[in-house]
Amino acid sequence: MMESALTARDRVGVQDFVLLENYTSEAAFIENLRKRFKENLIYTYIGSVLVSVNPYKDLEIYNKNHMERYRGVNFYEVSPHIYAVGDNSYRSMRTERKDQCILISGESGAGKTEASKKILQYYAVTCPASEQVQTVKDRLLQSNPVLEAFGNAKTLRNDNSSRFGKYMDIQFDFKGAPVGGHIINYLLEKSRVVHQNHGERNFHIFYQLIEGGEEDLLRRLGLERNPQQYQYLVKGNCPKVSSINDRSDWKTVRKALTVIGFNEDDVEELLNIIASVLHLGNVQYGEEDGSACITSDTQIKYLARLLGVNGTVLTEALTHKKIIAKGEEVGPLNLEQASSARDALSKAVYGRTFTWLVNKINTSLTYTHYSVIGLLDIYGFEVFQHNSFEQFCINYCNEKLQQLFIELTLKSEQEEYEAEGITWEPVQYFNNKIICDLVEEKFKGIISILDEECLRPGDASDLTFLEKLADTVGGHPHFVTHKLADAKTRKVMGREEFRLLHYAGEVNYNVNGVFLRCVKTVCVCVCVCVCVCLQVMCMSENKILNQCFDREELSDKKRPETVRYVFFLMFFYVMKQLRFLRFTWCVFLSSSGRFDEVLIRHQVKYLGLMENLRVRRAGFAYRRRYEVFLQRYKSLCPDTWPNWQGKLSDGVATLVKHLGYKPEEYKLGRSKIFIRFPKTLFGTEEALETRKHSLGEIPIAVQAWWRGILARRRARRRRQAADTIRRFIKGFIHRHEDRCPENEYFLDYVRYSFLMKLHRNLPKNVLDKSWPTPPAALTEASEHLRQLCMQNMVWSYCKKISPEWKHQMEQKMIASELFKDKKDNYPQSVPKLFVSTRLNGEDINPKVVQALGSEKMKYAVPVTKYDRKGYKARPRQLLLTSSGAVIVEEAKLKQRIDYGALKGISVSSLSDGLFVLHVLSEDNKQKGDVVLQSDHVIETLTKIAICSDKINNININQGSITYTVGQGKECVIDFTPGSELLVAKAKNGHLSVVSVNS
């Protein structure tokens, strides 16, 4: 428990800041951190909050033995640790049946990413496992190196800094085994793709590919093994980092991609995109008559191949813009605009690919909602000299989290006091709602003003945005601009900055670039331009880019989503999740490898740790359930030692009276004792240490008494075992008789054994028909259980079916009803998936599409039509729309059969692909029935039957089919089996079809 380390407090401080005597002193808080850090005790609690100081070195506290030490124990029973947080959340999820969240915050370099990995590793080792569960565990763990490669980078503060926010759900089944997961990413720092500060690097994956990629791979991608050759990798002038082994990390990432479930095609397409970003950075521009032109074709050739686009079209996209003027699209880009176009395309391609990667990982984790533990790895509140719009979003995010945490902490404290019948004393704390409202309030908050300025016609800019801010919120006590500030403040504020007074202190934000970054177009050139790069990416043959860039965006007239909109949409989703979760906050501090007091004090302030402590200490420093308190300290009072026989509350009252507690030092609740001052607890703990020595010598009489108790217990267990054996043997002898006292134990044992065997050997899926043979007494119950088990497996299976797969199965079911055991080539169609169409858009003449107008095309397939005179075979296309079937010859609509005029469909029972569409003879538009042949006859007829609602009108004929032509004349098709498919006019005038035996 927490108390176990109190006697060593002079050497290592206190392991819970709540027990600090001078809890309002920041100096005492930091001194306690320093003492513990010096002894490599990097973890300390503030109640249930875990505070960690990054030691910047490996500590032997993360092995399997440590995991077992924290497994299933009380939160305060052992010393503070990230494993204790993970285990407490896990057990709370299991026992309380309530989803949990572990919120990890802190500044760059504080160890947040490592902490989330440690929690995942803890669950991987300590949770129940099976072969399927082990696969999920492996994928959860291997998602980390992949996300780090694509989303982390070296910064000035951290060699492995997460440049995106991450919320991960870990899903557990009813046994407590991890069975899935889901990741939400937000606010990826895409600007890093094209620019890095001096001493920083681009995302890890670029360097890993160049350093670790095989020679053949680099040659195919057109890359050199030298990062200095690429403009996007030289800005920070930091190609090598001593603490990073890019070559080794490359092998780790490649292995991780395989474990997660990426096939070779996925990896190839992904690496093509990464290489294309590097080539984009090397696209060089010249200038002709004030317009930009690309000076080298080499990069364009590589880009065209890697991105799967037309090189000429890509060149046009990187040098021209669209200006909508009188229906014409004109306008070359100047040099500056073209460079912006190139960089914006690079950021968009990388950003969308990263989102695709996260979604791909989510798919591999088979997300299914059972019980949840969420891991929220969030940027920390940070203060730089020139803070950007992204940092503004991050700081606001932390402001909201601080508000939420204080609210929930106060709420839980107040609820505990009320439940225990103790008067709640209101707590004074800094309520940062006023700052949150300043940012998010509708119509007059900073975000609303920014949106309004983005939509405003005219010459809107960053400076007009700043002026609008000053006019609207200039009188707010937490806001100031250079124009509104006093003379002293103006000396440290630029004219393009505004200042917010956060709960953690004053922060200046620079508006340069805020306006442009706020509008999230694929490329930002000038406000009136819409970059044609979007169109080019939508035409890409790269399967990943084809999913990342939706063609519907081209015709979407809605206002583009903004960076602000995307960030806040995701953030409010996370905030909503947190309000319904029981969450634990972990705060991580950066120490630069040593205890830098100035740096630590700065973080303690802006992370609001002192505010947290004040809320936790609002009244009582220590509270424990009566049974726990009495069990630990009962030896200090003769009336409670060795055992207390009465009510627990009376026992605790007797104990504290004997210890001399004063009325103002404690309160007794309904189930807990509350102690106000740490010194009271420390005095009790010291008395216990003294008492332990006097308890060390046990009198001989007591030893003999205890030995007698143990002997009697052993004898009783032996008698019970012998009696059990006799009852079992007697029951076996009478096992075939009706239930009676002689056999009831045996029969119960048999039932129990069957149920346990069943529990261990339940069917794995709906196709598994195995089921243990039940004893006679459980035959009926066994059948009920078997049906329930099957229903549950079917329900679970159906729940996982996607809409696309459901549609596929519905079609296959109809095909089965129509053709199973009726048509010879049906079995060959079963393993083949039905496709949505057999003809792509470019296969159908535009004139045909124009002639169809607004009719939605549901299916298209090439067919052969046999004409009415001489049965000559002619290539045609069969198009199914919502209202009818259309037969097309190149650009002409040769025949249209409305579904209302379709009487039925005839097909032979053999393996040929011929079928006849029978039409109403009264329909003057038709010239009779139509004879067609399809290489995909089962699929085609199923589609026709569904579209026309003629499922019951398909006739499968043996030997021959009779159909009508113009003026009521009848013709016949004869079908015979043979070794080679042959369709020809027979001597008797019939159409003869020789069908190959399947």
166-214, pLDDT tens digit by residue? Answer: 888 888 887 888 888 888 887 788 888 998 888 899 999 999 999 999 9
Strands 100-106 and 371-377 turn out to be parallel
Q: Please give the helix or strand (H or E) that residue 257 lies within, else none.
A: helix 246-260
The pLDDT of residue 672 is 92
Which of 47, 86, 109, 928 is catalytic? The answer is 109
What is the pLDDT confidence band of residue 555, given thresholds at 50, 70 and 90? low
53 strand-pairing partners: 589
Which of 79, 113, 143, 940 is catalytic? The answer is 113
232 strand-pairing partners: none
Known catalytic membership, residue 95: no
pLDDT above 80: residue 791: yes
Known catalytic membership, residue 505: no
Whether residue 387 contacts residue 494, with contact meaning beta carbons closer than 8 Å, is answered with no
| Residue 799 marked as a ligand binder | no
For 852, the token pair is 């169809």
> Among all chains, which residue has been given the structure tokens 């970059």?
531
Rounded to whole angstroms, the Cα distance separating 546 from 307 reads 10
Taking residue 541's Cβ as centre, other Cβ atoms within 10 Å add up to 12
pLDDT above 70: residue 513: no
Range from 257-266, 287-296, 387-396, 519-528 that averages highest in pLDDT: 257-266
For 572, the token pair is 């409010």
Which of 161, 371, 432, 881 is catalytic? The answer is 161
- Rounded to an integer, the average pLDDT of 943-969 is 88
Amino acid type, 741: P
Taking residue 751's Cβ as centre, other Cβ atoms within 10 Å add up to 15
Rounded to whole angstroms, the Cα distance separating 405 from 583 reads 9
pLDDT above 60: residue 524: no
Q: How many residues does the chain have?
A: 998
Known catalytic membership, residue 924: no
Residue 623 main-chain phi, psi, to 5 deg: -145, 140
For 325, the token pair is 């003027």
Known catalytic membership, residue 199: no
User: DSSP for 685-723?
Assistant: HHHHHHHHHHTSS--HHHHHHHHHHHHHHHHHHHHHHHH
The pLDDT of residue 708 is 80
The pLDDT of residue 527 is 34
Residues 888-905: pLDDT tens digits?
Answer: 998 888 889 999 889 999
The pLDDT of residue 135 is 80
Known catalytic membership, residue 48: no
- For 586, 591, 938, the CA distances from 49, given in Å and listed in that order, are 6, 19, 63
Taking residue 889's Cβ as centre, other Cβ atoms within 10 Å add up to 15
Mean pLDDT (the chain) is 83
For 635, the token pair is 């030896």
What angle is formed at CA 171 by the lines to CA 170 and CA 174, rounded to 5 degrees? 140
DSSP 8-state symbol, 274: H
Residues 117-162: pLDDT tens digits?
Answer: 898 889 888 888 767 677 877 888 888 899 999 999 998 877 888 8
Cis peptide before 642 (omega within 30 of 0): yes
Whether residue 414 contacts residue 608, with contact meaning beta carbons closer than 8 Å, is answered with no
| Least confidently predicted of 24-28, 209-213, 392-396 | 392-396
Residue 560 vs residue 459, higher pLDDT: 459
> Among all chains, which residue has been given the structure tokens 């497994």?
71
Dihedral sign (CA 127, 133, 136, 137)? positive
Which of 32, 52, 79, 162 is catalytic? The answer is 162
Known catalytic membership, residue 380: yes
Rounded to whole angstroms, the Cα distance separating 230 from 211 reads 13
Which of 281, 380, 608, 884 is catalytic? The answer is 380
Rounded to whole angstroms, the Cα distance separating 109 from 159 reads 8
The pLDDT of residue 566 is 60
pLDDT above 80: residue 261: yes
Whether residue 532 contacts residue 316, with contact meaning beta carbons closer than 8 Å, is answered with yes
| Residue 106 marked as a ligand binder | yes
Rounded to whole angstroms, the Cα distance separating 538 from 308 reads 10
pLDDT above 70: residue 33: yes
Dihedral sign (CA 507, 512, 515, 516)? negative
Nearest residue to 284 via CA among 348, 344, 342: 342
pLDDT above 70: residue 563: no
DSSP 8-state symbol, 561: P
Rounded to whole angstroms, the Cα distance separating 884 from 944 reads 9
> Among all chains, which residue has been given the structure tokens 């709640």?
424
Rounded to whole angstroms, the Cα distance separating 749 from 736 reads 14
For 497, the token pair is 């900055």
For 701, the token pair is 């009489």
Amino acid type, 486: D
Rounded to whole angstroms, the Cα distance separating 610 from 307 reads 53
Determine the longest span between alpha carbons in the chain, in angstroms: 121
Range from 223-232, 297-306, 688-697, 759-768 that averages highest in pLDDT: 223-232
Known catalytic membership, residue 113: yes
The pLDDT of residue 211 is 94
| Residue 110 marked as a ligand binder | yes
pLDDT above 50: residue 561: yes
Residues 6+ apart with CB under 8 A from 410: 427, 429, 615
Which of 3, 200, 269, 382 is catalytic? The answer is 382
| Residue 108 marked as a ligand binder | yes
Which of 89, 105, 152, 158 is catalytic? The answer is 158
Known catalytic membership, residue 144: no
Percent residues over pLDDT 70 in the chain: 87
- Rounded to an integer, the average pLDDT of 464-471 is 86
Which of 4, 108, 310, 962 is catalytic? The answer is 108
The pLDDT of residue 324 is 44
Rounded to whole angstroms, the Cα distance separating 377 from 117 reads 11
Residue 568 Cα to chain centre, angstroms: 17
Nearest residue to 496 via CA among 390, 387, 391: 387
Whether residue 874 contacts residue 864, with contact meaning beta carbons closer than 8 Å, is answered with yes
